[in-house]
Amino acid sequence: MIPIAYNVHSLAARRSTTIAAALGIALVVFVFAAVLMLANGVEQTMRATGSPLNAIILRKGSQAEMQSGIEENAVGVLRASPEAAPAGSGTMSTAEVVVIITASAAGTKGGVSNAVVRGVMPESFMLRQQLQIIEGRNFTPGSDEVIVGRGIASRLADVGVGRELALKRNRPVKIVGVFSADNSSFESEIWGDLNSIRAIFNRQGAVSSVTLRLKNASLFEDLRRRIASDPRLGLEVKREPTYYDEQSQGLSVFIKTLGLVIAIFFSVGAMIGAMITMYAQVAQRSREIGTLRALGFRRSRVLLSFLLEAILLSLIGGALGIVGALGMSFVHFSTVNFQSFSELVFRFTPSPGILIGSLLFASIMGLLGGLFPAVRASRVSPVAAMRD
């Protein structure tokens, strides 16, 4: 076997071509890894929103809360479900209404953005214990006050504690606080009192969803079967993590598909660049190859050596691309969620699988780009090479 040190020395001796090829591969890997981190960020943001102990009840057939409607007379029955965990004189449960508003976007002239407004009960904070007020205070029940998630607060114009926000024309509310929620999708929402929000949007007599904290996760099937067996209700139950995972699927698939198509197109150019680099290496090193063959190294050994060199080159580029992509993990990104048509703020989120997959992708590019030059190197005649 030809020593690996020979390949390392060869790459170092030809710095300009090595750097050019490595940077081309680095760009492709950067795009590839960033796209996967972006899609993973959407999924992690939505998964962080749901709790495995929570069950969400919606109107049957509804794809999202804003499409759902539950009559007021059914809310009390649902909140009194025997599967719900007790809390004081009632249960750990809440009824909520969800609507979408259009507001002025920050940093743009005349730009607008969609935002989720959630009308909640005091019990909502018991079920979402990850929510913390980080600026100002919580809203007063029954008042026209709201709190905003820190994610959407940075995306809307003139949103801050003490300012007014027009949820509907001629119906301003006062912003009294900003909250965090462990980077979940709640940080892309505006929260206010349930009855006040329903009055503003003329939604009296109905809610969008009812959420229960189960006594234990095993009671979910009992709750699901009991509600499904009553056709008068026309409702369905989902585990909260399942519901929010479904909310992320459309956007996640779109990001992955679009990004991977772009990465594949870029990868063709990077492989051609690596191939040209390796062909140049073979042409410049015909004497070296002839010497190796004269020393008794078989064609297969030469082939493997040049393939290894191409893979080393691609791994260098892949490592550079991954470092660049990891820098994106400090960036917050926002886009419209296809399920809710509202703005969702999330981060580029890396994972070990993404990093390993990106290096594997770089290795495949190096393997494909270096295959034909390696075959050519293995076919070099030692006698002809020594004559040149």
pLDDT tens across 25-77, in order? 888 889 889 888 888 888 888 777 888 899 999 999 888 898 899 999 899 88
Residues 196 and 272 in one domain: no
Per-residue pLDDT, 49: 82
Residues 193 and 287 in one domain: no
Residues 62 and 202 in one domain: yes
Amino acid at 64: A
Which one of 193, 215, 237 terminates a domain?
215
In the structure, what pLDDT confidence band is assigned to residue 105 with cuts at 50, 70 and 90?
confident
Residues 296 and 155 in one domain: no
SS3 157: coil
Confirm whether 230 is domain-assigned. Answer: no
Confirm whether 187 is domain-assigned. Answer: yes
Residues 60 and 191 in one domain: yes
Residue 99 DSSP label: E
Which one of 194, 215, 236 terminates a domain?
215
Higher pLDDT: 377 or 383? It is 377
Does the structure show a pLDDT above 90 at 175?
yes
Per-residue pLDDT, 297: 66
CA distance 68 to 210: 10
Q: Where do the H-state alpha helices sit in 234-339? A: 240-284, 286-294, 299-327
Residues 60 and 205 in one domain: yes
Residues 321 and 252 in one domain: yes
Mean pLDDT computed over every residue of the chain: 83
Confirm whether 221 is domain-assigned. Answer: no
Residues 58 and 42 in one domain: no
In the structure, what pLDDT confidence band is assigned to residue 220 with cuts at 50, 70 and 90?
very high
Per-residue pLDDT, 347: 80
Confirm whether 237 is domain-assigned. Answer: no
Does the structure show a pLDDT above 60 at 388?
no
CA distance 57 to 230: 14
Instruction: Please report, for residues 2, 19, 376, 378, the alpha-carbon distance to residue 7 in angstroms, rounded to integers and kept in the order given.
Output: 9, 15, 17, 15
Any residues with CB less than 8 A from the CB of 138 and at least 6 apart, and which? 125, 147, 176, 177
Q: Which of 32-36, 197-201, 256-260, 345-349 has the highest mean pLDDT?
A: 197-201
CA-based nearest residue to 212, from 327, 343, 54: 54
User: Buried b vs exposed e over 349-384: b needs ≥16 C-beta within 10 Å?
Assistant: bbeeebbeebbebbbebbbbbbbebbebbbebebee
Lowest mean pLDDT among 117-121, 336-340, 361-365: 336-340
Residues 374 and 280 in one domain: yes
128-133's contacts with Cβ under 8 Å and 24+ in sequence apart are 128/181, 128/186, 130/48, 130/181, 130/182, 130/184, 130/186, 131/179, 131/180, 131/181, 131/186, 132/179, 132/180, 132/181, 133/177, 133/178, 133/179
CA distance 323 to 89: 54
Does the structure show a pLDDT above 70 at 383?
no
In the structure, what pLDDT confidence band is assigned to residue 262 with cuts at 50, 70 and 90?
confident
Q: Averaged over 148-166, what is the pLDDT?
A: 88
Residues 109 and 251 in one domain: no
Confirm whether 328 is domain-assigned. Answer: yes
Measure the N-to-C terminal CA separation of the chain; round to a whole number of Å: 25
CA distance 148 to 326: 29
CA distance 313 to 1: 19
Confirm whether 59 is domain-assigned. Answer: yes
Does the structure show a pLDDT above 70 at 296?
no
Total of domains in the chain: 2
CA-based nearest residue to 207, from 53, 45, 62: 62
Domain limits for position 118: 54-215
**Strand 86-87 to 90-91 pairing:** antiparallel
Confirm whether 238 is domain-assigned. Answer: no
CA distance 381 to 370: 19
Q: Is 228 left (phi over 0), alpha (psi -120 to 50) or beta?
A: alpha
Does the structure show a pLDDT above 80 at 278?
no
Residues 40 and 79 in one domain: no
Residues 296 and 320 in one domain: yes
Confirm whether 242 is domain-assigned. Answer: no
In the structure, what pLDDT confidence band is assigned to residue 232 with cuts at 50, 70 and 90?
confident
